[in-house]
Structure 1
Amino acid sequence: MRSRFVVPVVLAILLALLQFQLWTGRGSVPETSALERKLAVQKEANAKAQAANERLTSEVKDLQEGMEMVEERARQELGMVKPNEVLVQIAK
């Protein structure tokens, strides 16, 4: 009769240990939830930083290429010349 209750008791103890590990141990449900929240916050921060980097890259590109475009337009529309340059216009 005694051996009849040993197996269910051992199985119940093992189940209790597994449940304890699930709720309090490493990789537990609360710890996993906290890590998922941290991950979401970090992904949002990364997205904001990526957008800022793209904006700054665009501004740098505009500054590098923009002045050439402005100078070219000023030369064509306003007849701008640099020092020691000679402007020759050909009428069509």
Structure 2
Amino acid sequence: MLFLLLQHTLWISKDGLKELWRLSQAIEQQEQENYILVERNQVLSAEVLDLKSGLDALEERARNELGMIKKSETFFQVIEEK
């Protein structure tokens, strides 16, 4: 009888193997999310450092996001046919 009770606790109860498996899956998923966020934070940190230390990144942002050009440059717009 004790053996059956222990088996029930192991396989069927809310604190049994099902819960262990569910928690293992949740931990694995959270670790994957954390890894993605760590990579994103590293990229952002490098970008902040670049913006603080030099003008190249600032100039690149001005060109890409604001469409700015230098006085000595000529702007060409290429329109592709559909």
Same fold (TM over 0.5): yes
Q: Give the alignment partner of residue 31 of structure 1, picking from 15, 19, 27.
A: 19
TM-score norm. by structure 2 comes to: 0.64
| Higher relative contact order, chain-length normalized (CA < 8 Å, sep 6+) | 2
Once the 2 structures are TM-superposed, how far is the Cα of residue 16 of structure 1 from its aligned partner?
0.1
Partner of 1:8: none
TM-score norm. by structure 1 comes to: 0.57
* Structure 1 gap ranges (5+): 1-12, 69-92
Once the 2 structures are TM-superposed, how far is the Cα of residue 67 of structure 1 from its aligned partner?
1.9
Identity of aligned residues (%): 30
Question: Runs (4+) of structure 1 moved beyond 2 Å?
Answer: none
Higher helix share goes to which structure? 1
Q: Give the alignment partner of residue 62 of structure 1, picking from 50, 55, 60.
A: 50
* Structure 2 gap ranges (5+): 57-82
Higher Rg of the two aligned structures = 1
Cα RMSD, aligned residues only: 1.4
Q: Match of 1:45, as an amino acid? A: E
